[in-house]
Amino acid sequence: MASSSSSSHSVPPASISQSWNYDVFLSFRGEDTRKSFVDHLYAALEQQGIHTYKDDKTLARGESIGPALLKAIQESRIAVIVFSKNYADSSWCLDELAHIMECLDTRGQIVMPIFYHVDPSDLRKLKRKYGEAFGKHSVGENKQKVESWRKALEKAGNLSGWVIDENSHEAKCIKEIVGTISSRLPTLTTNVNKDLIGIETRLQDLKSKLKMESGGVGIIGIWGVGGGGKTTLASAAYAEISHRFEAHCLLQNIREESNKHGLEKLQEKFLSLILKADVKIGSEIEGRSMIERSLRNKSVLVVLDDVDDVKQLEALAVSHAWFGKGSRIIITTRDEHLLTRHADTIYEVSLLSDDEAMELFNKYAYRKDKPIEDYKMLSKDVVSYASGLPLALEILGSFLYDKNKDEWKSALAKLKCIPNVKVTERLKISYDGLEPDHQKLFLDIACFFRRRSMDEAMMVLDACNLHPCIGVKVLIQKSLIKVSNNQFGDKRVDMHDLVEEMAHYIVRGEHPNHPEKQSRIWKREDIAYLCDMGADAVPMETEVVAFHDYFGAPDLSDVVANMKKLRWISLDYYLVSSFPSNFQPRELRYLGLQCSKQKELWHGYKSLPNLKTLDLHFSKNLITTPDFEGLPCLERLILKGCVSLEEIHPSIGYHKRLVYVDMSDCRALKRFPPIIQMQMLETLNLSTCIQLQEFPDIQSNKSLPNLKFLNLEHCGNLITTPDFEGLPCLERLISSWCNSLVEIHPSIGYHKRLVFVDMSCCARLKRFPPIIHMKKLETLDLSCCYKLQQFPDIQSNMDSLVTLDLSCTRIKIIPPLYGRLPDLKFLDLSNCWNLVELPDLPSSIAILQADDCPSLEIVRDLSDYKWLWKVSLWGCYKLIGGERVLHSMLEGNAAKGRFMSLLLPMVKSSSRIFTRLVTLQLPSN
């Protein structure tokens, strides 16, 4: 095939507002090409999705030919004229041609001629067959039209087109023609998505991720909450770019189709749509092979909508190698996990902004004769309820379309109690796809933990054996929950308002007015309803009771014994003195009574064989703990802030399963029972137990073999530390503000696992034991140990020490640190009033602080410290040579990094204090 070498006709630009019902009008001489070239060309155009008018395919029998054809020509964006040898013999063809050329001038129609075994000059000069035909027309009944036909042929012969002769490969020619036609159609798509609210920016974002300019195969996933607009966005992209591919297919409702008909039928539908032919396959394996064989050399656009199972992707688009260069595969799903292995890029679709949501709602909710202003506040309530979810806005808007104001108000009131079933059922699809354990996890989170601490949620859910670490990840990937940081950096669990409402709808189930038949109770009115049932309450289905309110939880003491299926209880400010004797929930795994008023949990011994967490923090009236022998599976005990707690049951010392014990701020506690068999304990927090006089008696060196964190902060009566040989796995030790502490057990110097030691503000401490083998220690804080006079005796290199704080001590001489602390980066010697000279520092030092050291006179040359970027010597009035410090710092790497900080002392005379003027040449950077 060759392009016509004749001069091109100038085509007027089409109006943007022009209405076109067809992409292409095919004009041809039926006897010459209908069953050959034109038939193949038409099939190729239709396969590409190009809407083509061809008279024998479109015209209804009995319809008047003339007007129908004229109308079809006028409504077609592009006219393709196949000039064959006998084209001019047909007056019908010449009438089509004349009208096409008129539309070129008047309507901006695009005209593309194909010279099929004809030379363009035959048209322009009426040679050969064209000359013969016009000779006949000149003497026949059409002689009055001959001049207009001649001008139309001459104009067409001057247009750029394709010349097909006996040497041309027709299949290749047709492919090129269809490609060129496709490239002229993008202007048609400008209005395709005009009615979709908020689509423009999202479509541009998606197209940037599609990287259409890239020649490789791209697989892009669109992920988000149900009803969030994934299908709409994918369909809009498909409408806008499908013309650029050799073949394309939008396969919708894959989840539903797969469940109903199986993967083989899905593959058949996929191949039939993309190949524009009826395809049958015998098996899923055969289907995979046929997809790869049919498409691996084609540039295709495929949209796989609503995928919910990896097997669907494996059956339809398992590999990039299945598709030809330039192909793009778009997958929409609610499950991010399905995309992590298959997709190159994942695009999370964003919900509508308030303005977009209002626009979408207005589109569905208002008739032309309904004044929007009268419904403005009601509309805002609906839009707020939908929280940017397009599905909810469309459904609610359509429902309210023909309703009056009173009916709108009634509908809104109903939504506060009963959600819209259509919205809820669509969202519930994600829930239905979860495993049973993940369903239980989701309902617990939705009912009790929205916007609450992630750490709190994980602790409770882990106690209930719901394996939240993996489960929460699944729920995030399913678009059911989100985890984000608040302004303080704490992780919080959240979800869409309507997803939360869907969960509540599931829990209420078939018994919305009977809380005793529901698995979870969290509303005050439901708890009050149960309390009113009193001791006569029937056995209940309740698995969880949680209520968090400053005004306190209602008294459940009469009915809680009837909740035999209880997994966890969490109540704030619980007012009852103790649980009744018949309270025996054997499945209970978490019991939390934060800020409760109880003096004791229950009288005597009680067996709760599955309880894993007992949280009574800030229960200020609590005097004693229960017998821990009845809680054999207990792992976490939280008694923080129980300021009246005087006695811990001695059975705690024999507990073999406890991992975490927090008794901080138990100000009345004088003694912790002897530790006999607490082999699993990893954390022991006794901070601010101000009356605690000695560390618990460890009666065996191996009784705390797994303790990693020990907090004794503000234990003001503590005199000495424990023997660290009995704590071989200890990593973090905090014993700051122990004002009576005078001795640290010498075994600390041999400890090989300690990473962090904070003994700051131990005002009576005079000496830190010799450091023999503290290889892993990274931080040592001895600041404000006012009586400490000697620098710790380091007898072996401390290769891991990064931070050393000796500020506010009485140390006078510091031995050379070079070699002993090879990785030290931060050294604080501020307010060391006796310090005369700075030591020889390791080359790794980055920050040196020695403010307010009035005896300090000598600072060594710092030019060897290449990583030193901050030095602070404020208030060291005897110091001489501060300028030398500055110049030496400029030689190091800090200056190359373009940031350094130096605070030099002022000069102090008998009458005044003033600053020095320092002049220096700054580096070029």
Q: β-pairing, 590-592 with 568-571? A: parallel
Q: How far apart are CA 444 and CA 355, in angstroms?
A: 33
Q: How far apart are CA 112 and CA 243, in angstroms?
A: 17
> 581 in helix, strand or coil?
coil
Cα separations (Å) of 313 from 197, 304, 697?
30, 9, 62
Which spans in 509-590 are helix H? 524-533
Strand partners, 520: 544
Contacts of 267 (CB under 8 A, 6+ apart): 281, 284, 287, 288, 290, 291, 315, 316
Which DSSP category does 111 fall into? Answer: E
Q: Ramachandran region of residue 912, left (φ > 0), alpha (ψ -120 to 50) or beta? A: beta
Cα separations (Å) of 3 from 87, 113, 159, 265?
20, 10, 10, 44
Q: β-pairing, 907-908 with 913-914? A: antiparallel
Q: How far apart are CA 224 and CA 496, in angstroms?
A: 11
Contacts of 106 (CB under 8 A, 6+ apart): none
| DSSP result, 332-345 | EES-THHHHHH-SE
How many C-beta atoms lie closer than 10 Å to residue 424's C-beta? Answer: 20
316 is written with which tokens? 């339809």
Burial (Cβ within 10 Å: 0-12, 13-18, ≥19) of residue 921: exposed
Contacts of 355 (CB under 8 A, 6+ apart): none
Mapping DSSP onto H, E and C, the string for 343-374 reads CCEEEECCCCCHHHHHHHHHHHHCCCCCCHHH
Q: β-pairing, 870-872 with 847-849? A: parallel
* 52-53 β-sheet, strand order: 2-3, 162-164, 110-116, 76-83, 22-27, 52-53
Among 46, 63, 96, 314, the active-site one is 96
Instruction: Judge whether 707 and 731 are in contact, CB under 8 Å.
Output: no
Sign of the CA dihedral running 558, 563, 566, 571: negative
Instruction: Judge whether 739 and 719 are in contact, CB under 8 Å.
Output: no
User: What does the buried/exposed string (b/e) look like for 239-248 if buried means 16 or more CB atoms within 10 Å of the residue's CB?
Assistant: bbbbbbbbbb
Rg (Cα) of the chain, in Å, rounded?
41
CA-wise closest residue to 504 among 573, 582, 579, 417: 417
131 is written with which tokens? 């000359």
Instruction: Judge whether 78 and 109 are in contact, CB under 8 Å.
Output: yes
| DSSP result, 413-458 | HHHHHS--HHHHHHHHHHHHTS-HHHHHHHHHHHHHTTTSBHHHHH
Whether 246 sits among the annotated catalytic residues: the reply is no
Instruction: Judge whether 493 and 457 are in contact, CB under 8 Å.
Output: yes
Cα separations (Å) of 805 from 344, 371, 545, 763, 835?
49, 72, 48, 15, 14
178 is written with which tokens? 């269809």
Residues taking part in catalysis: 96
